[in-house]
Structure 1
């Protein structure tokens, strides 16, 4: 008899990644809602998405054996809520929100792992006295307590920077904030959170250094990490340009310290039967480790990376945990020693004039087997009209590739960039 696993926002590429998952009996994967409704939309109604998901599951003529999620909010919360309703393994909503709510998360971190927590303060972006609410020295970072990717995150160096950031935040924060408010109403919030609402913001001390991320799971109380990735920043020191697996930029003892910190925090908040990836910053000069955040899911950005190096995507862990099994992830069973996700980006708003044709894409895949290029732009698109761009650059494409060593990995990235970069016309240079 088939085991039926439902995956929220399932894409064609993820179906291919799921082919690497192994189970004792036959597995059958089903999409639950579509990628457009869950990821590409700018406006979210959590309660409506929950009702639509319930209806799809109720209409299925068979058993619902597991529900898997790997996208950011609302999917990261939607999946566990649905699983809990059906008695399937999933983290409690309260433990999820102690990670998903950035201010609540910092409060819990300060109670449990204070040595890795930067200075922080919550504030209401819609009041007239925002500057007075933030008792941090410049520069500092501001972001929503629940955002999407890196959108509405800003480095603040002056009061003028703050005013400009607030203008954008006030215009767009409720797109996610209103939906997050719907979720917060489902749990008993501590007193210090009750008046904030879902569209509050967090100001944090700037942390510098080398970024990396352990990824793992807790299944029936058993904590495990199946890999650590490097997260290379661009020259601006803000945006992530590339993710490499396995990590090699920080010493092994620092990686282990981050793994131990994450385990202590997840045990403290009661997180169980779920996956995570935790992002850290290591300041080598100060020998100082700082925790950025804990995401309550596997990262879809890492899936191809694990498949290229280990022979299976991280969906193996997500499916195992969702079925109540101990996670089974092979090590080094893939075709490459190292892998990367490379973000092809542009610094300014622009109009797309041309994109690589099928022949160019085929030539790259033939030259570098296993390479995946995720290019969603078409001629005539304006970069600022694309959903979920971050505050400092515009995404053009995501490229996943493997290599026998790190030197050849960089060489391949440089070659692919030259071959596949779309032709753009910056908007500020266009004639009227």
Structure 2
């Protein structure tokens, strides 16, 4: 008798993550299909969200297979599109409204304030077209400003003065339409409340948070909320850019427990059900305070290989189980390494890429450093200033996933691999 096959459609289909999905225990029972490719959702700063919804809908309808699930591991617009398509085809998923309650930073903060008010920063919404916005916000510098829908620190700026604010307000005005307009279109299509979908407060200002950053990975299966791992987010020494994500966390067990409790409270307030998600926190050892930065209603693809190296299987397993209506199982904790990290190999000055490693060099690195995975983000000839979705302080050249016995070996391996990559950048000629 032929084994039953599940058919899962993926928003943001890419070979790197699909290969991990195929290695899951259910791998032989699942066929993965591209509802939208990674290039579809990330090839432009101007996201045609509604067009992408209809394109994915058509792709599923015209497929030879009835969908059993729609999933994603990418940020906007993928998370919202996946929930909308699951609703459209009657599949198991978090509700569209609960996804927006996570994705819309102003709405999310308003909901968070109802249950964990002392663990979030002061915040205020504002319209970047309002020339009097600085006076109306009610926050004294320093603070951060960003769109209510942003990702990877795109269009996020630190404000230290009124002059700073005005400069960054103009940058927001120039760049925000590519994200907020399609985001708002999806809110309107999803029939969200008028004060949310129709709001002109497209940006948010927040008091700064300090301390050590981390991310709680969790899932909600029905009413049950389970936190199963914490990943430390370690910044560059002299920059706000991230240096690496490291698993497992080094935070004290009592702090991790507090974060898990806050995560459960927030997930229930947002009515997150049948979903994988992660929550970013700051922990300040000086006063032992814990503050929630943001909640992302998806499995982190940045962390998936780390769980695979340490626990023996990617946390994508939870996502697939939930999407198919199966109770997630505890990860086996039988990986090859005691510690793992995703390093974001960066350049801090603009220029043109003149050299990247070829396939032979990448194969040599994988042979010398077993378990290492590398995703290049640049090609020879690329102008770093033209790369999409970079933060305001650096340019991401490659992701390097490394496992090791301890943190010292992890750092040693990273330095050696970065040297072997030998990505070269020259100043741009005028």
TM-score of the pair, normalised by structure 1:
0.95
| SS of match in other structure, 2:401 | strand
Deviation at 1:301, TM superposition (A): 0.3
Distance 1:192 1:133 in 2: 19
Distance 2:194 2:32 in 1: 42
Deviation at 1:23, TM superposition (A): 2.6
Identify the residue that residue 224 of structure 1 maps to in structure 2: 226
- 1:365-395 Cα distance to aligned partner (Å, 9 max, x none): 1111111111131111101111111111111
Q: Does 1:14 align with 2:17?
A: yes
- 1:65-214 to 2 correspondences below 5 Å: 65-187=68-190, 189=192, 193=196, 195-197=198-200, 200-214=202-216
Distance 2:42 2:291 in 1: 29
For the 8 Å contact 2:184–2:197, the answer to whether it is kept is: no
Identify the residue that residue 53 of structure 1 maps to in structure 2: 56
Segment of structure 1 superposing worse, 323-332 or 114-123: 323-332
5+ residue gaps, structure 1: none
Distance 1:237 1:112 in 2: 33
Distance 1:331 1:257 in 2: 24
1:298–1:245 CA distance, 2 compared to 1 (3 A): same
Distance 1:357 1:38 in 2: 27
For the 8 Å contact 1:20–1:311, the answer to whether it is kept is: no
Q: Does 1:246 align with 2:253?
A: no
Identify the residue that residue 217 of structure 2 maps to in structure 1: 215
For the 8 Å contact 2:283–2:291, the answer to whether it is kept is: yes
| SS of match in other structure, 1:185 | helix
Distance 1:229 1:380 in 2: 34
Deviation at 1:187, TM superposition (A): 4.6
Distance 1:44 1:161 in 2: 28
Deviation at 1:356, TM superposition (A): 1.7
Distance 1:31 1:187 in 2: 23
Distance 2:330 2:307 in 1: 9
Count of residue correspondences: 427
- 1:67-104 Cα distance to aligned partner (Å, 9 max, x none): 11110000010001111121111111111111100000
Distance 1:79 1:195 in 2: 22
Give runs of ≥4 in structure 1 deviating > 3 Å: 186-195
5+ residue gaps, structure 2: none
Deviation at 1:142, TM superposition (A): 0.5
CA RMSD of aligned residues (A): 1.6
For the 8 Å contact 2:10–2:34, the answer to whether it is kept is: yes
Q: Does 1:383 align with 2:384?
A: yes
Deviation at 1:161, TM superposition (A): 1.4
Q: Does 1:23 align with 2:26?
A: yes
Deviation at 1:213, TM superposition (A): 0.7
Q: Does 1:301 align with 2:311?
A: no
1:189–1:30 CA distance, 2 compared to 1 (3 A): closer
For the 8 Å contact 1:3–1:25, the answer to whether it is kept is: no
For the 8 Å contact 2:128–2:170, the answer to whether it is kept is: no
Distance 1:369 1:35 in 2: 27
Distance 1:111 1:237 in 2: 33
For the 8 Å contact 1:20–1:307, the answer to whether it is kept is: no
Identify the residue that residue 369 of structure 1 maps to in structure 2: 370
Distance 2:387 2:330 in 1: 35
Segment of structure 1 superposing worse, 184-193 or 285-294: 184-193
Deviation at 1:314, TM superposition (A): 1.7
| SS of match in other structure, 2:281 | strand
Distance 1:421 1:226 in 2: 37
Distance 2:193 2:29 in 1: 44
- 1:16-52 Cα distance to aligned partner (Å, 9 max, x none): 1112212397111112111111123221122111111
| SS of match in other structure, 2:13 | coil
Distance 1:26 1:322 in 2: 14
Distance 1:343 1:147 in 2: 19
| SS of match in other structure, 1:231 | strand
1:194–1:44 CA distance, 2 compared to 1 (3 A): closer
Distance 2:55 2:179 in 1: 18
1:295–1:134 CA distance, 2 compared to 1 (3 A): same
Distance 2:400 2:337 in 1: 16
Distance 1:381 1:94 in 2: 39
Distance 1:25 1:367 in 2: 30
Identify the residue that residue 317 of structure 1 maps to in structure 2: 318
TM-score of the pair, normalised by structure 2:
0.96
